[in-house]
Structure 1
């Protein structure tokens, strides 16, 4: 299990978080660290969430570097049966750069990189 600190809030993972982490890692640049940070819809933008992470650079070659948003993704909550190939309910949406700045709608995970 892993955890990141945003201000005074520690976030840990679950199944959707694991899926988001894999997606964010795949979208990240080479030789960079990435993290999937949960986001509440209608809350802060991913840009604000990523820049508020306080401990992502502790184990990197980039000490003191502020994390930044590379992508916002939505993992839909409605899912089909677990371990079912090609289930139509395991859907995700990739927002691109717009996902980093949205505050009213959008992603439920922010892909942050440092």
Structure 2
């Protein structure tokens, strides 16, 4: 017999609502990270690679499996004249990545030809 004051199916509805909220939260997290990747791309292209290194380092530590963030960190490091830091970032990424890194993450960033 259900506890007094409970409604049949109420727990099931709460569980469904919880799963729906979790799915919505995951979708919003993904959209936020995608927006951040786009923002960092714009900042790096605008020459703010020095400023982006610190922020991207923190993001990569928090989200080590995000190919886009790792690629952007490697690009920012290269454009900031810190190519020697790139292999350590890549090794850390490759060690944590459950599968072969994507071709985009394996490709070194192009050398910058314009002013820094």
Query: So what's the TM-score if we normalise by structure 2?
Result: 0.26
Instruction: Give the number of the structure whose residues are more often strand, by fraction.
Output: 1
The structure whose Rg is larger is 2
- Structure number with greater CO (CA < 8 Å, separation at least 6) is 1
Instruction: Give the number of the structure whose residues are more often helix, by fraction.
Output: 2
